[in-house]
Amino acid sequence: MKIRLTLLTAALLLTHQAMAKDIPLGQARDIANTTTPASDSQTYVALEAQSLAGLRQALQGNAASLTRDQLEHTAQSAKQADSAWLKARGYDFQTKVNQQVDIALLSSFSALPKPVLDANLHTVEAINRDATQGLRHQALADAEGISYLYFIADALGPKLGNAFLAAYDKGELGKAAALIKASEVSTGAAKKHFDYKRPFLIQNNSIHLVPDDVVVKDNKAYTADGGSFPSGHTNTGYTDSLLIAEMIPERFDALLTRGARYGYSRVVLGVHYPLDVIGSRMVAERNVAHYLNDAKYRVLFNEARDQLRAALEKECGTSLAQCAQSAGKDDPYRDPAMRNFYRFTMTYDLPQQKGAEKKLKVPEGADVLLEAALPNLSANQRSALMVKTALPAGYPLSGNNDEQGFWQRLNLSAAYEMAHKSR
């Protein structure tokens, strides 16, 4: 064990500097585009099409056709999500308490200097302007699928992804579907608190609102109301992806990136800034860690996880480990380039304040986020990974206290990668 730890530490020290720089906006765009219907993999494109078809059918329900009005009243069906089971268990999610904790965690937003906010706007304008048609189509599907879990499938690889879609619509994942959606801590209170205008409402902005030719297909420009900071959709994407990653650690890295990719879609559409996405990553990770450290929540989580894994193995006809294996070019979320994309979404190349490197302090219990993916490491070892692979200090929202600094700098993708490289 000592030898292994020494090798792990050495690997982390050698690679830490390599992780410290963002890739350019254009490179991030090109990587993200491989996870859209513009992919070179016909297998992946077919999985995307199946996911979209499932979403459109769920939105339409028993109606003769899908109309925009139906989007305002969407939710998982009773067959998809076992809400009765969850309600009967009587768990208190303490939503209002967690909302206030999230507001405090993001409080440094109010003190950001004008150059950072200007860069925030310029970045969303550039990403929105230069987005490919594939990125726009994927962003529309992500946007309208917020109430469902269809978006998860493409990060599971072709075999497990198809199994997930089948099991989801058959109602075989009901406990997980209900628990995951109930675990999303609404960003509504934070939006009202920070009261920041969306980018397309800023005077003289260059945002191009994207017409819907994918979901409702009425070519009406996609828009959004309410405050911009933090992003509710991104909070959903990160929370859902991270909880599924905790249930299916065989796809941990890919699912982490799916959460980041979901947030990127909001910037593509021009309805959120990078900081909205970064802030939601922070609170989603904090909230999931909080719940996983609650013994009563863990009982529900374990029950939901076991049902989900059994259902997926049944649909796959093999072990989950076999079904989750990488599928080469047909599995873009497992492409090494996606690690660079994930790192990019942690900062969106926004200005870094130079100064002394602050020591990162891991909050008690935060290592739980790596427990399922790295079960052979102790809590102390997982915490050490988090520290050594963290984002450099000084990026926006890192704030001036330990909690803010940790959740802004936490790079779960890098921690997972480095642990596996050291094996």
Mean pLDDT across 343-358: 88
Torsion angle (degrees, nearest 10) of CA 414, 250, 174, 43: 100
Structure confidence at residue 192 (pLDDT): 98
Angle at 276 between CA 206 and CA 77, to 5 degrees: 105
**62-71, 143-152, 170-179: least confident range:** 62-71
Question: What secondary structure does DSSP assign to 40-66, as a single string?
Answer: S-HHHHHHHHHHHHHHHHHHHTTSSS-
pLDDT band at residue 2 under the 50/70/90 scheme: very low
pLDDT band at residue 423 under the 50/70/90 scheme: low
Per-chain mean pLDDT for the chain: 94
The string of pLDDT tens digits covering residues 106-140 is 999 999 999 999 999 999 999 999 999 999 999 99
Task: Give 123 or 13, the one with higher predicted confidence.
Answer: 123
Structure confidence at residue 16 (pLDDT): 42
What residue ranges do the domains of the chain occupy? 2-421
**67-71, 412-416, 419-423: least confident range:** 419-423
Structure confidence at residue 64 (pLDDT): 92
103 contacts 193 by C-beta, under 8 angstroms: yes
Structure confidence at residue 7 (pLDDT): 39
Mean pLDDT across 359-369: 96
Structure confidence at residue 29 (pLDDT): 98
Number of Cβ within a 10 Å radius of residue 62: 4
Structure confidence at residue 422 (pLDDT): 66
Nearest residue to 278 via CA among 417, 123, 154: 123
Structure confidence at residue 353 (pLDDT): 86
**Does the pLDDT at position 13 exceed 50?**
no
pLDDT band at residue 354 under the 50/70/90 scheme: confident
**177-191, 203-217, 409-423: least confident range:** 409-423
Q: Domain 2-421: what homologous superfamily?
A: Phosphatidic acid phosphatase type 2/haloperoxidase (1.20.144.10)
**5-9, 63-67, 334-338, 360-364: least confident range:** 5-9
Mean pLDDT across 134-163: 98
**Does the pLDDT at position 375 exceed 60?**
yes
pLDDT band at residue 21 under the 50/70/90 scheme: low
81 contacts 66 by C-beta, under 8 angstroms: no
Fill in the DSSP letter of residue 211: B
Mean pLDDT across 270-286: 98
pLDDT band at residue 69 under the 50/70/90 scheme: confident
142 contacts 262 by C-beta, under 8 angstroms: yes
Mean pLDDT across 6-35: 67
Structure confidence at residue 71 (pLDDT): 86
Q: Is 221 helix (H, G, I), strand (E, B) or coil?
A: strand
Mean pLDDT across 326-351: 97
Q: Is 145 helix (H, G, I), strand (E, B) or coil?
A: coil
Record the tokens describing residue 210, joined without a space: 């994207």
**What pTM was computed for the model?**
0.94
Q: Which residues have C-beta within 8 Å of that of residue 304, sequence separation ≥ 6? A: 175, 176, 178, 179, 180, 247
Q: Is the dihedral of CA 287, 293, 295, 301 positive or negative?
A: positive
Share of the chain above pLDDT 90, in %: 90
Cα 388 to Cα 418: distance, rounded to the nearest angstrom: 10
Structure confidence at residue 70 (pLDDT): 86
Q: Cis peptide leading into 230, omega within 30 of 0?
A: yes
**Does the pLDDT at position 337 exceed 50?**
yes
**Does the pLDDT at position 18 exceed 90?**
no
Q: Which residues have C-beta within 8 Å of that of residue 123, sequence separation ≥ 6? A: 25, 267, 273, 274, 348, 349, 350
